[in-house]
A and B are shown apart, each in its own frame.
Chain A
Amino acid sequence: AQSVTQPDIHITVSEGASLELRCNYSYGATPYLFWYVQSPGQGLQLLLKYFSGDTLVQGIKGFEAEFKRSQSSFNLRKPSVHWSDAAEYFCAVALYNNNDMRFGAGTRLTVKP
């Protein structure tokens, strides 16, 4: 079955530490891949996306993500986390020949001072 999995429900990191949020997908073909961030009480904002080409993509706010076809993964990273990065992060996938976008369950990030 097609699915998007974010294995970590909640992650806590110290400010200044590095961050990696995991995303795995299960689709017959390589989907389009997205990471969104949601601050409390807000809508979702796109951080970055992957369609094709270079497997390391850069996004806003210093985030990057790497697509690994062999692992069906699209993990989000940031070298040094800021307190303002505390939010919920969603991985999403879409298929070229499909019209909808499916989301993972989300990972809530807490940043310790």
Chain B
Amino acid sequence: NAGVTQTPKFRILKIGQSMTLQCAQDMNHNYMYWYRQDPGMGLKLIYYSVGAGITDKGEVPNGYNVSRSTTEDFPLRLELAAPSQTSVYFCASRGQGWTEAFFGQGTRLTVV
């Protein structure tokens, strides 16, 4: 049981480039989340999804897009990378009811 899998683990982007951070879970969870973690700031919620086809903005959605075409996958898209998007990105998922959320290992993104 792999849990939550994020790819890639590391990436360096140039300003203005685009990329997609992948997130997949194999626990049949309806709820999925994207967070970014900056030093001293904790985790900030970017987007979340309550099921296939349904997404909603979190605290810091600007500069990002998401889609949820299947229960398993929740990719995060950066269209025009900016240095301010340098961060560690975490994907998480949870089942019905407020049980624990399971986190991926993170993607460390640097925009130069």
Contact = CB atoms under 8 A, between A and B. Distances in A.
B56 A99 contact: yes
Nearest to B38: A105
Contact of B41 (A36, A51, A102, A105): A105
B45 interface: yes
Interface stretch (A13-21, A38-46, A70-78, A79-87): A38-46
A101 B45 contact: yes
A15 to B, nearest CB: 25
A49 B100 CA distance: 8
A34 interface: yes
User: Residue among A4, A34, A96, A102 with the most chain B CB within 10 A?
Assistant: A102
A44 B90 contact: yes
A101 B33 contact: yes
What class of interface size applies to chain A in its complex with B?
Answer: 20 to 34
Interface stretch (B13-21, B68-76, B77-85, B102-110): B102-110
Interface in A1-54: 4, 6, 9, 32, 34, 36, 41-46, 49, 51
Contacts of A6: 42
A104 B37 CA distance: 11
Given A36-B103, A103-B35, 18 more contacts: A9-B40, A32-B98, A42-B105, A43-B4, A44-B43, A44-B90, A44-B103, A49-B100, A99-B31, A100-B33, A100-B45, A100-B48, A101-B33, A101-B45, A101-B101, A102-B59, A103-B43, A105-B40
